[in-house]
Amino acid sequence: MNEADELLIDASSKKTIHHFFGYYFTFFPRAIGAFFMFIGVVLVSLFNLLFFFIGLAFFMIGAYLLTGAHGIQIDLVNQRFRTYDAIFRWKRGEWLPLQKYPYLTILKANTSFRSSDITGVNTSTQTISELGIYLLSETHRHRQLIYKSKLGPAHVQQKAADLAYLMQKEVVRFQPKRVSDRK
């Protein structure tokens, strides 16, 4: 999927916005998931009750590894959104009202991967720099990522302006209010 296809807006009616953040796992675990699904289908097809349940377990684990993904949906007509987890394109997530988030803001949305050798002594961290567009609460204390991109600030600012127009939100600078009575 290329960057231009990441933010899908229902062009015919401008009613729904979809953003797919990605799959849970990289290539190798997803390949293992496909293998587990295949083994599951073979075991289920043996018509043995014990193999049926074992095959069903293999199939479900494989389906999670292969197709597990996450993203966001924004329903402009009903003024609500949800972050979802999906398996086999079956999406589940709680719908929240957009009114709780009157602003949009642009912040870093970096992703980091950490790995170590078998001894655990040598570790390395890889960080992918991205910018994200967030829904922001009135107090700036709560935020919800709705879009992220590696294409740079100009691209993300244009997407933020487009989303602000569609969602009737204001793009603001992130400035959480400080509590002065802290000890």
Contacts of 23 (CB under 8 A, 6+ apart): 30, 67, 68, 69
What's the pTM value of the predicted model, to 2 decimals?
0.75
Per 3-state DSSP, what percentage of the chain is helix, strand, and coil (rounded to 5)?
30, 35, 35
Most confident of 21-25, 127-131, 179-183: 21-25
Asked which of 80-89, 96-105, 150-159, 168-177 is least confident by mean pLDDT, the reply is 168-177
Note the pLDDT of residue 36.
96
Note the pLDDT of residue 13.
53
For residues 55 and 161, give the distance between their C-alpha atoms in angstroms, rounded to a whole number. Answer: 49
Q: What are the residue ranges spanned by the domains of the chain?
A: 3-24+68-171
| Confidence class for position 2, pLDDT limits 50, 70, 90 | very low
**Mean pLDDT across the stretch 16-31?**
90
Q: What percent of the chain has pLDDT over 90?
A: 44
The pLDDT tens digits of the residues spanning 114-138 come to 777 778 778 888 877 888 999 998 8
Note the pLDDT of residue 5.
42
Name the average pLDDT for the chain: 85
Give the other-Cβ count within 10 Å of 175's Cβ: 9
Note the pLDDT of residue 35.
96
- Using only C-alpha atoms, what is the Rg of the chain? 21
| Confidence class for position 166, pLDDT limits 50, 70, 90 | confident
Asked which of 5-19, 23-37, 84-98, 130-144 is least confident by mean pLDDT, the reply is 5-19
Tokens of 150: 């590696």
Terminal CA-to-CA distance of the chain, rounded, Å? 49
Give the other-Cβ count within 10 Å of 120's Cβ: 7
Note the pLDDT of residue 7.
61
The pLDDT tens digits of the residues spanning 71-112 come to 999 998 889 999 999 998 899 999 999 999 999 999 888 777
**Mean pLDDT across the stretch 162-181?**
81
3-state DSSP assignment of residue 137: coil
